[in-house]
C-alpha cells in the first residue's frame, strides 16, 4: 500500500498513476510493495526532522526512514515541496520531473541503492533516469 499525506497545501495531481508507477518500479527491481507513506511538507517541517533524527542542521529535499524487510519494501518518505521547487529551478527542469525523481529516489534507497560515493551516485542517478523514462511512457 502506498499512502500520500500532506503537511502543506501541496497535493499530487494524480495519486493513482503515481502509485502504480512506484509499484511497477518496485516489481521491476524484484521487490514487493509493503507499506510506503509519503509525507509532503515544507522546509521547516523537514528541517526539524533532519535535526531531531539525523543531527543534521541543513535543509534537504528528502528524508526516508527504511522499514524494508528482505524483499518487502516499506518506509516513510518525507519530501520538502519547497526544496523540490528550488532544485527544479537550479537544475533547469520541471517541478514535476524533479518531484518524480525525489519520489523514486526514496524508494531506490529501500531497494539497497546508495548515494554516498561518486560511483553510488552515478548508479542512483542512472536508476532515477531509467524510471523517469518509464513514467514518461505511461
> Contact at 8 Å (CB) between 61 and 80?
yes
pLDDT digits (tens, 9 = 90+) for 113-135: 999 999 999 999 999 999 999 88
Which band of pLDDT confidence, cut at 50, 70 and 90, is reported for residue 137? Answer: low
**What would the mean pLDDT of 45-73 be, rounded to a whole number?**
93
Closest CA to 10 of 37, 39, 44: 39
**What would the mean pLDDT of 51-55 be, rounded to a whole number?**
89
**What would the mean pLDDT of 36-60 be, rounded to a whole number?**
93
- Burial of 91-126, coded b for 16+ CB within 10 Å and e otherwise, reads eeeeeeebbbbbbbbbbbbbbebebeeeeeeeebee
Closest CA to 64 of 18, 110, 97, 111: 110
Report the first-to-last Cα separation within the chain, whole angstroms: 20
Residue 68: pLDDT over 60: yes
CATH number of 2-133: 3.40.390.30
> Contact at 8 Å (CB) between 53 and 32?
no
Residue 20: pLDDT over 60: yes
- pTM listed for this prediction: 0.93
Residue 88: pLDDT over 90: yes
Domain boundaries, the chain: 2-133
Place of cell 518506509: 75
Which band of pLDDT confidence, cut at 50, 70 and 90, is reported for residue 112? Answer: very high
DSSP state of 69: B
pLDDT score recorded for residue 127: 96
Amino acid at each position: 500500500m502506498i499512502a500520500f499525506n500532506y503537511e502543506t497545501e501541496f497535493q499530487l495531481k494524480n495519486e493513482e498513476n503515481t502509485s502504480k508507477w512506484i509499484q511497477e518500479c518496485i516489481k521491476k527491481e524484484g521487490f514487493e510493495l509493503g507499506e510506503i507513506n509519503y509525507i509532503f511538507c515544507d522546509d521547516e517541517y523537514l528541517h526539524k526532522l533532519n535535526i531531531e533524527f539525523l543531527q543534521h542542521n541543513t535543509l534537504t529535499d528528502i528524508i526516508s526512514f527504511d522499514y524494508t524487510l528482505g524483499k518487502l519494501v516499506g518506509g516513510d518518505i518525507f519530501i520538502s515541496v519547497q526544496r523540490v521547487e528550488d532544485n527544479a529551478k537550479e537544475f533547469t527542469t520541471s517541478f514535476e520531473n524533479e518531484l518524480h525523481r525525489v519520489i523514486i529516489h526514496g524508494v531506490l534507497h529501500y531497494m539497497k541503492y546508495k548515494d554516498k560515493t561518486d560511483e553510488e551516485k552515478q548508479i542512483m542517478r542512472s536508476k532515477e533516469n531509467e524510471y523517469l523514462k518509464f513514467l514518461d511512457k505511461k
